[in-house]
Amino acid sequence: MDEKEEYTRRAGGYLLLLLMLIAFAFIWQKNRGVQIAGGGTAVIPFQSPVPSAVTPESGQTETNMGTAVESFDQPVPILTSSNALSPDSNPHTYQIKHPAHNFQTYVIQQGDTPRIIAAKFDISPATLLGGNPQMSDEANALQTGATITILPMDGVLHIVRPGEKLEGIAEQYNVAVEEIIAYEANNLEFPFRLEPEMQLLIPGAEIASFHWTPPRAISYDDGQWAVVGTGSYTWPVNGRCLTQRAWFGHMAIDVSTAIGDNLYAADTGTVTYAAWAAGTYYDYGNLIVINHGNGYETLYAHLNSVGVSAGQTVEKGQWIGATGNTGRSTGPHLHFEIRLRDVTLDPLNYLAGPVSDCS
């Protein structure tokens, strides 16, 4: 074999060896694919990877030295919106702004009444109830030393309950949705989403009047009473100075008295309650209730002492106890009510004689 043939034979051997090495490298590289949880495969390039960025549109991870294709079976979430006026909040699409109220507070003083406090802040007495859910419709819900919230304008402070929407709240208070939105401190912005416990001021609204039914220690199933009243009423105390007149949130009169002043039955009747009366939204202290047998009842609250007992009949003008300052009261006075079949009435429509407002 000459020199040329020997060179050709060796070159062919080297070429065959090179092809075999290339084929081996290709097979080895292919088998390096990594199985990914969920059923997909990521092919890792031979070069060392560098930090990458994911492009959600393509689902690929791109590097400057190659591409690793990732395949996942999990669905891609789709953000949706609601057309409701107050839809549920979605932290991915909307950040709720909370109200930014700056309410004043007031510590109740001796002798305060809703009328007196309201006059100090140029709001209506009803707004005191609207800004303080812990109060009832009775003046005796005020207690010396207690702190109450003063709203900046007439209205109601509404605490949002779970599931409530703006439309429903507006309907509850019979006001326009736009009025609630327009109050700047409510911080309501489209799409007007609400969260439980948010405090919204409802301008111009009034809270529903709380109605308390007095307890009855005795009753007659047949509706017959031992005595029947005259149908006219005398003043239960000697004073005529009123610390509070009747209004929708306080259907009674409060008459200024001293502790221990004499108390008289306003009309003939049967005592149905004569003891302490207290509860969550009221605290009348020592209370006497007289049923006059003709559908009418009279109530005498905050007494210092009770001089009658349940079941006893009394005559018009008879002494029944002494006035005081018991229960939730900001000073000595008589809280006096007249009711017709459990409906509270303005006592001044039934009592004769001049009255004055205490200063």
Assess whether pLDDT exceeds 50 at residue 359: yes
pLDDT in tens, 230-287: 999 999 999 999 988 888 778 899 999 999 999 999 999 999 999 998 664 567 889 9
The string of DSSP codes covering 272-292 is: EEEEEEE-SS-EEEEEEEEE-
Average pLDDT for residues 183-195, to the nearest whole number?
91
Same domain, 152 and 199: yes
Same domain, 257 and 348: yes
pLDDT in tens, 285-303: 899 999 999 999 999 999 9
User: Residue 318 belongs to what domain range?
Assistant: 241-357
Q: How far apart are CA 43 and CA 69, in angstroms?
A: 7
The per-residue pLDDT of the chain, averaged, comes to: 78
Same domain, 199 and 135: yes
- 143, part of any domain: yes
pLDDT at 38 (0 to 100): 42
Cβ neighbours for 239, distance < 8 A, ≥ 6 positions apart? 255, 256, 257, 261
* Preceding omega of 203 cis (within 30 degrees of 0): no
| CATH number, position 296 | 2.70.70.10
Same domain, 257 and 346: yes
Same domain, 140 and 62: no
- 99, part of any domain: no
- 212, part of any domain: no
Assess whether pLDDT exceeds 90 at residue 85: no
- 90, part of any domain: no
Domain boundary at 69, 92, 117, which? 69
Same domain, 290 and 353: yes
Average pLDDT for residues 28-33, to the nearest whole number?
60
Same domain, 337 and 245: yes
Domains: count for the chain: 3
Same domain, 199 and 250: no
| CATH number, position 180 | 3.10.350.10
pLDDT in tens, 308-331: 999 999 999 999 999 999 988 888
Assess whether pLDDT exceeds 80 at residue 61: no
Assess whether pLDDT exceeds 60 at residue 352: yes
Gyration radius (Cα) of the chain, Å:
41
Same domain, 54 and 116: no
| Greater pLDDT, 125 or 215 | 125
